[in-house]
Amino acid sequence: MEDLKQCIREAAGFIDRIAGIIDADGIIVACTDEILEGSEDPSARTVLMSEEESRVTSGRTYLKFSPTEGEHLLCFIEGMDSIARSYAELLSLWFAATLRQHNSEAEREAFLKNVLLENELPGDIPLKARDFKIPYSTPRIAYLIRMVQAEEIDCIEILQNLFPDRQSYYVLAMDEETIVMLADAPRDNPDLIDEMADQILDNLNAESMVKIRIGIGMVADTLKDTAKSYREASLALTVGSIFESDSYVMRYDQLGLGRLIYQLPPTLCHMFLDEVFPKGAFEALDSETLLTIQKFFENNLNGSETSRQLFVHRNTLVYRLDKVQKITGLDLRKFDDAVLFKLASMVRKYLERQEKVALKATGERWRHG
């Protein structure tokens, strides 16, 4: 109905008479005179129940139109002359076409969602894509945008204004917190994938003041394969939230070890941790030591650069690394030990996240049970 109201607002600019739309209950739902919106037209029910397509009565010209089969609305305009009749005919055609286009777009959105959720038969996808005029073999990439405390409608409008080409960018609301954008994959410049994500992040942060995270899947060669890109984008968000909690953009092809660890069963992870760390060893590392380890890894085991960034003497760094070796048995200056520690700390973070999720699920079941 918002589309019809927009049409009426535009019509008010070139029609010098009051015109509007009446629903099946006889209520004026859109009108060039906004004061009349929501009021009942006493003649509307009689016109709607009659078999006549149009009627002139009570100083107005009424004309039925049907945006969909079985649905009837009334277009009315003040006046009982031939000019009023012509206006009513033109307006009703415009309104019907607008609603049909809106319904067609809604059906196309529903089709694309079903493709992403794998609710469409693979053999039907090319045929339906042709019906909706969606190129089937165009390579695309899925951007999954997850919002926290935001108005989904506002974010969709921002994205549609940011990427107005409806043939190259499909913006779909999957639920109250998730929007997916299917975008044509840049063939010649892969860097555009990240640039587009940064553009989305900056605009949504600036215009809606919303906290968002973006997951990016791999390039899908056909429309059918976009379901896989969507799953990858979703996994990128999940894994990224565990191992890269400070990042706002996560790419599936850059998850590294996190993707591998996420697929391991918890029992195997516990066994691995018991073998790497003596009991209570990791817990014995204080926050200062953990920060030192983090910086040491970020600087690719470069002691001089780590000391500079931590503003400590190199001997202090050596002392802290010796302390880590004494507690855990791992010398982080050796590549193999450093890899083992890094892997074990990631496994530990993964297990902590799994335990939090399990506790939250148990709490919710207890509240609802």
Whether residue 346 contacts residue 277, with contact meaning beta carbons closer than 8 Å, is answered with no
> What CATH number should be reported for the domain whose range is 2-101?
3.30.450.30
For the chain, the domains span 2-101, 125-260, 264-368
DSSP string of 174-186? Answer: -SSSEEEEEEEPP
Q: Which of 8, 63, 47 is nearest to 30 (CA)?
A: 8
264-368 CATH fold: Arc Repressor Mutant, subunit A (1.10.10)
H or E element in which residue 100 lies: helix 82-116
Q: Which two tokens stand for residue 368?
A: 């609802």
For the chain, what is the total number of helices (H) and then of strands (E)? Answer: 13, 10
In this chain, the answer to whether the domains covering 2-101 and 125-260 adopt an identical fold is: no
Question: Which residue do the tokens 């590392």 mark?
Answer: 285
- pTM, entire model: 0.71
| Strands of 249-251's sheet in order across | 169-173, 178-184, 140-148, 211-216, 249-251
Tens-digit pLDDT string for the chain (369 aa): 677 788 888 888 888 899 989 988 899 988 989 899 999 998 888 888 888 888 888 899 999 887 666 677 898 999 999 999 998 889 888 888 877 777 678 888 999 999 999 999 999 999 999 988 899 999 999 999 998 765 555 788 889 889 988 888 999 999 888 999 999 998 778 889 999 999 999 988 888 777 889 999 999 999 999 999 999 999 999 999 898 888 899 999 999 889 999 999 999 999 999 999 988 899 999 999 999 999 999 999 999 999 999 999 999 999 999 999 999 999 999 999 999 999 999 999 999 888 887 787 777 667 665
Cα radius of gyration rounded to whole Å, the chain = 30
> What CATH number should be reported for the domain whose range is 125-260?
3.30.70.270
